[in-house]
Amino acid sequence: MEAVPFVLGVFCLALVFWDTFETIVVPRPSVGPFRIARPLVAWTWRAWRGLGMRVRHGLGRDLFYGLYAPATVVLVLVVWLLLLILGYGLVFLALHDQLRPAPPDLGSAMYFAGTSVLTLGFGDVVATGPLARAVSLTAAATGLGLVALVITFIFSLYGSYQRREVLVVQLGARAKAPPSAAALLVTYAKLGLVDELPALFAEWERWSAEVLDTHVAYPILGYFRSSHDNLSWVSALGAMLDAACLVTTAITNVPRGQATLMRRVGAHFVEDYSNYLGVHGDGSVVERGQFEEVYRKLARVGYELEPLEAAWPAFERERAAYGARLEALAEMWAMPATRWTGAWTVPESAVHESGQVAVDGPGPPVA
């Protein structure tokens, strides 16, 4: 037995087994020097994003970006299989005296390793020694096991993706696309649904907790894009966090408890996920003039508000915990970012003396 190819083969196999275990089996993020999937995603996304920037039309670019995550899952499986074949090929090369006919080079040994890993069993190369036979059986078992794990992983990913997108699509109907907190709050006032806001925040608190759990455990989920134009889970989360911040700092006639809980869970999710990806922002990205515009809009549709001089610093302080990080995530993934100013405009003719918006007739125009 030759020691050098045997040690290199064992190291290659251990690398694949460890990376598979950390990526699929361990339900939490993990970092370390001996990883394959994480640097592979980072390198390929930079290249894919650069190619996407060459696409002139926004829709075509979004479709191109939407192919990345599914293609990368398949690519990771292919890389793992190739490294398995390489590792077992090196081991079989070291055990060439236990194979008939003995492989003369690495390519021939990898051929036998490939037939073992993929359980083809042509029989043109046969393991005759006890160690070679054990390695051949192990290769077949690990090859089948790896494919089974990845298939299970794909079903889990798509299940998490579909659960994530349900509320995102619903929000698109309530806050336009890309969604904004102003559009959401104005729509709820226009439709007389202000009392339903706490229930909406409760839904998004649960959503934030679930997405935090799944996306931190399996970060590739963040690269899966929404199937609808101008929508992304990043912009949807940002719109809901902005709405929660407006309720907790500026609006006085909406219960604040559920909005506070939603903001805490959502901001915690943004912080954990951006830290894992190494993406950071610097302060809030909303200026006072933009805040005052939304403040006046909310007053026109009937919300009772805190004094502006008290509401603005409180809002700025709370939004700084997540605002810039979300913008950085949207920039990294080339996704629609959170809109601050709403898609709805409220004409003065639609406002009664009581401050409520008229709900009869056509809806407000799109800004």
Give the range with max mean pLDDT: 29-43, 171-185, 220-234, 295-309: 295-309
* Backbone phi, psi, residue 251, to 5°: -95, 130
pLDDT above 50: residue 364 = no
Query: Is it the case that residue 275 has pLDDT exceeding 90?
Result: no
Sign of the CA dihedral 10, 13, 18, 21? negative
Spatial separation of the C-alpha atoms in residues 207 and 205, rounded to whole Å = 5
pLDDT at 205 over 50: yes
Residue 353 is predicted with a pLDDT of 36
Mean pLDDT for the stretch of residues 134-159:
92
Closest alpha carbon to 251 in 298, 212, 216, 213: 298
The residue with tokens 């995530």 is: 329
Residue 346 clears pLDDT 70, i.e. is over it: no
pLDDT of residue 358: 34
Phi, psi of 366 (to 5 degrees): -85, 130
Model confidence at 31, pLDDT cuts 50, 70, 90, reads low
Average pLDDT rounded to a whole number, residues 13-41: 82
357 beta partners:
351
Q: For the chain, what are the domain ranges? A: 3-151, 176-350
163 DSSP 8-state letter: H
* Beta-carbon count within 10 A of 202 CB: 15
Name the phi and psi angles at 274, rounded to 5.
-70, -35
Average pLDDT for 142-158: 91
Give which of 195, 226, 210 is closest to 66, Cα–Cα. Answer: 226
Instruction: Please tell me the predicted confidence (pLDDT) of residue 265.
Output: 95
Rounded CA separation 58/333 (Å): 14
Q: Which residue has the higher pLDDT, 46 or 360?
A: 46
Say whether 366 sits in a helix, a strand or coil: strand
Confidence of residue 359 (pLDDT cuts 50, 70, 90): very low
pLDDT band at 172 (very low <50, low <70, confident <90, very high): confident
Distance CA(152)–CA(200), nearest Å, equals 32
pLDDT at position 337 over 60: yes
pLDDT given at position 355: 36
Mean pLDDT of 176-184: 88
**How far apart, in whole angstroms, are the C-alpha atoms of residue 132 and residue 127?**
6
Read off the amino acid at residue 249: T
Alpha helices in 226-341 (DSSP H): 233-249, 257-277, 288-300, 308-319, 323-333
How high does pLDDT run on average in the chain? 85
pLDDT tens-digit profile of 101-145?
988 899 999 999 999 998 887 778 888 889 999 999 999 999 999
Question: Residue 334 pLDDT more than 60?
Answer: yes
Contact 186, 298 (CB under 8 A): yes
Task: Tell me what pLDDT residue 38 has.
Answer: 83
CB 197 within 8 A of CB 254: yes
- Provide the CATH topology of domain 3-151: Helix Hairpins (1.10.287)
pTM, to two decimals: 0.80
Cβ-based neighbour number of residue 152 at 10 Å: 11
